[in-house]
């Protein structure tokens, strides 16, 4: 408890110090805003901020869910068809080296400005750590247990539900945690490819309108949401993985 | 012997070269956007040595994501190319920058759309606008349409098209010429149908005006010469522009230069003059439509000058 209080006090102290230094140095808000500038920006535009945040959050969460499902499916496929395992993993690794700045505008040309290309981009980024970790964990499965199931002629789906996935649950959660960190940022970035809503759009507008207070505010919002998503994930993890 | 001579000549060239650049005052000018024929005068002044004649060494910079106005305000670049609406917005936010010349005497920008998008003045509000996303741009588009328009930021531009956008805000000398050459049918609504303002303009910061007014004068003298030359020699200046920017189709640059040449100067053949009426009208317009803070009206009205021309 005292640790928590100390934590909060420390953060508050940081903000006060920030406010004081910027005030004393008399820096213009378009160069470096004060926490108070950000607060008044927040309350002046609370409706815009909330609606744009919800839009970006929706993209992030849908993209995250897709990447979990797709990640699982691909991990299972390459675990079953071992010949293609290395080839697929190599290809996936290469896709992660493609600079998003280069393909994001093309996504807009291929898929338009709807929500679909944005979710695709988030899925593209977030499924990678899940596939990589899961397939690694699948291959290191307890061979004796697997042999037992194989001898009993257990159907494929049952093998995964009762052996592979429970065994890899911890790894799955760790990799989702990595994916969560990328989810908001890639959702934000996906709006750079052309958008009429969202925090990424608000960020672009604020940058080009010299509204630096809003830029800082958006950074803070992204951090807070990512922290919250992590907390939710921890809660789920602690309630789901009861066996290890 | 021959070798020695070559070496000697090279040495002398290097020596004099060094000496020259040491004497020159170095300044940077940041563009508003990718190089285009609005900037021809700068490249001409550079190429024909007008800057050097004034004792200046000028570096032409492309704008960064952070924006030209703030770069000039912070003296990262001493000069910049901007627009009256951006300068108004920036001054409203507290920047100390001033417009020292209008690049074009008439605002040639406007809303361009493909014929098949069927955009007219009457139905602007029901169409999708794609732009670059400044507050003031958004407000101006909404004003023109008479209602809140669906606006997308980060499009691929009018010429690329195919991105779900109906209309764009572009310069006639650039996009319209390009569209004509590509055989694309389009509609064009000049921005002056709604409101007139200077676009683009050349800006500098208060620090330069206070501490180095002579450098500003010299810079503007060369720039003025560059644009006046471009105005009377569109073919030559297109050649010079293409030399500095080889990425563009030469034919297109030539057509664009011919189109824009008369707009660089007023009816007396002079470059750069800004009319008080245009400035104050636009500021009043911004105030009336609550696009700027009322207390900054005077400051914005005073953020242009013809003194350095």
CA–CA dist B147, B46 (Å, integer): 45
Per DSSP, the three-state class of B26 is strand
pLDDT at B15 over 60: no
Structure token pair of residue A93: 């690794």
Per DSSP, the three-state class of B292 is coil
Contact in structure between B119 and B97 (CB atoms under 8 Å): no
Distance of CA B246 to the CA centre of its chain: 19
pLDDT at A160: 87
What torsion do the CA atoms of B155, B161, B167, B172 make, to the nearest 10 degrees? 100
Output b/e per residue, B39-71; b: 16+ Cβ within 10 A. bbbbbbbbbbebbbebebbbebbebeeebbbbb
* Better pLDDT: B203 or B159: B203
CA–CA dist B241, B238 (Å, integer): 5
pLDDT at A59 over 60: yes
Contact in structure between B110 and B191 (CB atoms under 8 Å): yes
Percent above pLDDT 70 for chain A: 99
- Residue A102: list chain B partners with CB under 8 A: none
Residues 6+ apart with CB under 8 A from A218: A199, A202, A203, A206
Q: Which of B66, B94, B133 sits opposite A204 (nearest CB)?
A: B133
* Better pLDDT: A141 or B270: B270
Q: Is the dihedral of CA B177, B182, B187, B191 positive or negative?
A: negative
CA–CA dist A59, B155 (Å, integer): 19
Query: Which secondary-structure segment (H or E) carries A234?
Result: helix A212-240
pLDDT at B207 over 50: yes
pLDDT at B290 over 70: yes
Structure token pair of residue B9: 């000549």
Quick: pLDDT tens for A11-44. 999 999 999 999 999 999 999 999 999 999 999 9
Residues 6+ apart with CB under 8 A from B290: none
Quick: pLDDT tens for B154-199. 777 788 776 678 999 999 999 999 999 999 999 999 999 999 999 9
Alpha helices for B189-249 (secondary structure H): 206-211, 213-232, 234-244
Per DSSP, the three-state class of A113 is coil
Please report, in angstroms and rounded to a whole number, the separation of the first and last CA atoms in chain A. 27
Q: What is the mean pLDDT of chain B?
A: 91
Helices (H) and strands (E) in chain B, counts: 13, 10
The DSSP bridge pattern shows strands B25-30 and B79-82 to be parallel
Minimal CA separation from A115 to chain B, in Å: 13
User: What DSSP letter does each residue of B71-134 carry, written as one string?
Assistant: HHHTTSSSEEEE-HHHHHHHHHTT--EEEEEES-SS--EEEEEEGGG---TTTGGGSEEEE---
pLDDT at B5 over 70: no
B76 — contact with chain A (CB < 8 Å)? no
CA–CA dist B45, B65 (Å, integer): 26
The DSSP bridge pattern shows strands B167-171 and B109-114 to be antiparallel
Structure token pair of residue B18: 């060094």
Could you say which residues from 138 to 197 on chain B have a Cβ atom under 8 Å away from some Cβ of chain A? 138, 150-156, 160, 162-164
pLDDT at B19: 47
Helix axes A199-208, A165-190, angle to 10 degrees: 30
CB contact under 8 A, A31 and B89: no
CA–CA dist B217, B235 (Å, integer): 28
CB contact under 8 A, B135 and A196: no
Contact in structure between A107 and A192 (CB atoms under 8 Å): no
Minimal CA separation from B93 to chain A, in Å: 7
Short-list B73, B98, B105, CA closest to B199: B105
Short-list A206, A75, A185, A232, CA closest to B70: A206
CA–CA dist A70, A86 (Å, integer): 18
- Residue A113: list chain B partners with CB under 8 A: 152, 163-164
Beta-carbon count within 10 A of A12 CB: 11
CA–CA dist A232, A173 (Å, integer): 12
**Mean pLDDT on A55-65:** 96
CA–CA dist B98, B300 (Å, integer): 9
pLDDT at B65: 77
CA–CA dist B30, B95 (Å, integer): 16
Quick: pLDDT tens for A110-158. 877 788 889 999 999 999 999 999 999 998 888 888 888 888 888 888 8
Short-list A195, A140, A52, CA closest to B153: A195
**Mean pLDDT on B38-59:** 96
Q: Does the predicted TM-score (pTM) go above 0.80?
A: yes
Quick: pLDDT tens for B61-89. 999 778 899 999 999 999 999 999 999 99
Q: Residue B102 — very low, low, confident or very high, per pLDDT cuts 50/70/90? A: very high
pLDDT at A241: 79
The partner residues of B308 in beta bridges, in order of sequence, read none
Q: Residue A193 — very low, low, confident or very high, per pLDDT cuts 50/70/90? A: confident
Exposed/middle/buried for residue A122 (C-beta within 10 Å: 0-12, 13-18, 19+): buried
CA–CA dist B93, B280 (Å, integer): 18
ipTM, two decimals, is 0.77
The partner residues of B129 in beta bridges, in order of sequence, read B151, B167
CB contact under 8 A, A113 and B65: no
Quick: pLDDT tens for A84-98. 999 999 999 998 898
Q: Which of B66, B136, B152 sits opposite A196 (nearest CB)?
A: B152
Nearest chain B residue to A193 by CA distance is B154
Structure token pair of residue B235: 């073919």
Cis peptide before B42 (omega within 30 of 0): no
Contact in structure between B220 and B101 (CB atoms under 8 Å): yes
- Residue B154: list chain A partners with CB under 8 A: 105, 108, 191-195, 201, 204
Per DSSP, the three-state class of A235 is helix
Lowest mean pLDDT among A165-169, B94-98, B264-268: A165-169
pLDDT at B234 over 90: yes
Please report, in angstroms and rounded to a whole number, the separation of the first and last CA atoms in chain B. 52
């Amino acid at each position: 408890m005292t640790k928590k209080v100390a934590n909060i006090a420390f953060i508050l102290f940081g903000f006060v110090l920030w406010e004081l230094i910027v005030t004393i140095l008399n820096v213009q808000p378009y160069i470096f805003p004060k926490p108070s500038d950000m607060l008044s920006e927040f309350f002046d535009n609370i409706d815009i901020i909330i609606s744009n945040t919800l839009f970006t959050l929706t993209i992030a969460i849908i993209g995250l869910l897709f990447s979990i499902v797709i990640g699982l499916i691909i991990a299972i496929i390459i675990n079953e068809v071992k010949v293609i395992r290395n080839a697929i993993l190599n290809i996936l690794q290469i896709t992660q080296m493609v600079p998003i700045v280069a393909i994001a505008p093309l996504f807009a040309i291929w898929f338009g400005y709807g929500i679909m290309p944005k979710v695709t981009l988030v899925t593209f980024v977030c499924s990678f750590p899940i596939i990589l970790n899961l397939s690694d964990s699948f291959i290191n499965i307890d061979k004796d247990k697997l042999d037992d199931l194989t001898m009993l002629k257990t159907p494929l789906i049952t093998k995964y539900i009762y052996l592979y996935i429970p065994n890899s649950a911890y790894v799955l959660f760790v990799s989702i945690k990595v994916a969560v960190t990328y989810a908001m940022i890639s959702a934000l970035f996906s709006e750079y490819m052309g958008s009429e809503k969202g925090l990424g759009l608000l960020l672009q507008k604020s940058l080009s309108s010299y509204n630096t207070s809003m830029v800082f505010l958006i950074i803070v919002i992204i951090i807070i949401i990512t922290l919250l998503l992590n907390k939710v994930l921890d809660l789920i993890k602690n309630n789901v993985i009861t066996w290890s | 012997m021959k070798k020695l001579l070559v070496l000697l000549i090279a040495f002398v060239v290097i020596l004099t070269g060094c000496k020259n650049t040491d004497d020159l005052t170095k300044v940077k000018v940041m563009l508003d956007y990718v190089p285009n024929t609005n900037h021809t005068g700068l490249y001409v002044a550079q190429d024909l040595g007008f800057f050097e004649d004034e004792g200046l060494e000028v570096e032409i910079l492309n704008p960064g994501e952070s924006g030209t106005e703030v770069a000039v305000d912070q003296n990262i670049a001493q000069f910049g190319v901007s627009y009256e609406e951006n300068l108004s917005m920036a001054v409203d936010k507290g920047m100390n920058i001033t417009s020292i010349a209008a690049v074009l005497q008439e605002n040639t920008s406007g809303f361009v759309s493909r014929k098949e998008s069927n955009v007219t003045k009457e139905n602007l509000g029901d169409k999708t606008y794609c732009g670059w996303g400044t507050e003031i741009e958004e407000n101006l588009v909404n004003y023109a349409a008479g209602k809140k328009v669906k606006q997308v930021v980060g499009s691929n531009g009018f010429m690329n098209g195919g991105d779900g956008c109906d209309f764009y805000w572009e310069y006639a000398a650039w996009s319209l010429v390009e569209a004509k050459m590509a055989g694309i049918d389009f509609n064009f609504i000049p921005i002056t149908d709604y409101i007139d303002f200077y676009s683009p303009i050349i800006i500098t910061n208060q620090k330069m005006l206070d501490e180095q007014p002579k450098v500003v004068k010299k810079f503007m003298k060369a720039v003025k010469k560059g644009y006046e030359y471009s105005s009377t020699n569109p073919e030559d200046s297109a050649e010079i522009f293409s030399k500095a920017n080889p990425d563009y189709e030469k034919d297109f640059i030539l057509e664009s230069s011919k189109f824009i040449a008369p707009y660089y100067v007023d009816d007396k053949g002079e470059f750069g003059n800004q009319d008080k009426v245009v400035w104050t009208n636009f500021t009043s317009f911004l105030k009336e439509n609550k696009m700027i803070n009322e207390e900054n009206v005077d400051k914005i009205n005073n953020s242009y000058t013809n003194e350095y021309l």
